Amino acid sequence: MNELLRYFPDLTDEQKAQFDALYALYSDWNQKINVISRKDIEHLYSHHVLHSLTISFGLHPTAGTSILDFGTGGGFPGIPLAILWPECQFHLIDGTGKKIHVVEEVSRAIGLKNVRATHIRGEEEKGQYDFVVSRAVMPLPDLVRIIRKNISRHQHNAIANGLLCLKGGDISAEAAPFKKVMEVTDISTRIKEEWFKGKHLIYIPL
């Protein structure tokens, strides 16, 4: 939690309590289902929660904004963002039913009212959203091809509706088709921990 509070000091008491509860919940579920790499559970807050929240560096959504978390796994980045933005509506989807069950149970345990979770493949999801968020589930061209259908035409945020995706390493090849329109934020310019070197936030208006 300390890393989280260092970069997000203005959380409400309710948000702090919700974030604080995540470690015990995910540790317990990880004993039953491999939601997070077992060697990585000790780094839950820096590698998963804080990493998820870096999407907020590129988006400051208005109340009522709808967000699809594509390939959420055990709830990242969707659950941390739903805590951070309680006035936004989140739909978390994944093709693995066991992981969606974890999302539902964690959301219920911390009292999230703005999250629904569905066991569905991204290709089958037909809903319309202001933004799609994702953590490196597939190469960008493939991801954009699938989620383009899910981007609403109705605009009510400061930036155009589209994709906010977290990626690491050399992204030049997969990002090439979008270089004229996309914005890339080097996360390590904002978060100084070693693990964040080479991590990027990509925004592609769609």
Q: What is the pLDDT of residue 120?
A: 97
Q: What is the rounded average pLDDT for all residues in the chain?
A: 96
CB atoms within 10 A of CB 68: 25
How would you label 185-198 residue by residue, b for 16+ Cβ within 10 Å and e otherwise?
Answer: bebeeebeeebbee
60-78 pLDDT, tens digit per residue, is 999 999 999 999 999 999 9
pLDDT value for 34 = 87
pLDDT band at 113 (very low <50, low <70, confident <90, very high): very high
Q: What is the DSSP letter of 21?
A: H
pLDDT of residue 148: 97
pLDDT band for position 39 (50/70/90)?
confident
Rounded distance between C-alpha atoms, residue 134 and residue 72, angstroms:
7
Chain segment 8-30, per-residue pLDDT in tens = 999 999 999 999 999 999 999 99
197's CB contacts (< 8 A; 6+ apart) are: 188
What is the pTM assigned to this prediction? 0.96
Tokens, residue 79: 């659950």
Say whether pLDDT at 136 is over 90. Answer: no
pLDDT (tens digit, 9 = 90+) per residue, 157-177?
999 999 999 999 999 999 999
Q: Among 74, 197, 52, which residue's Cα sits nearest to residue 135? A: 52
pLDDT of residue 37: 84
- Give the single-character DSSP code of 151: B
The pLDDT score that the predictor gives to residue 38 is: 82
pLDDT band at 4 (very low <50, low <70, confident <90, very high): very high
φ, ψ dihedrals at 165, nearest 5°: -130, 135
pLDDT of residue 134: 97
Type of residue numbered 35: V
| pLDDT value at 99 more than 90 | yes
| Cβ atoms of residues 169 and 198 within 8 Å | yes
- Locate 118 and state its tokens: 């569905």
Per-residue model confidence (pLDDT) at position 122: 94
* Per-residue DSSP letter, 177: G
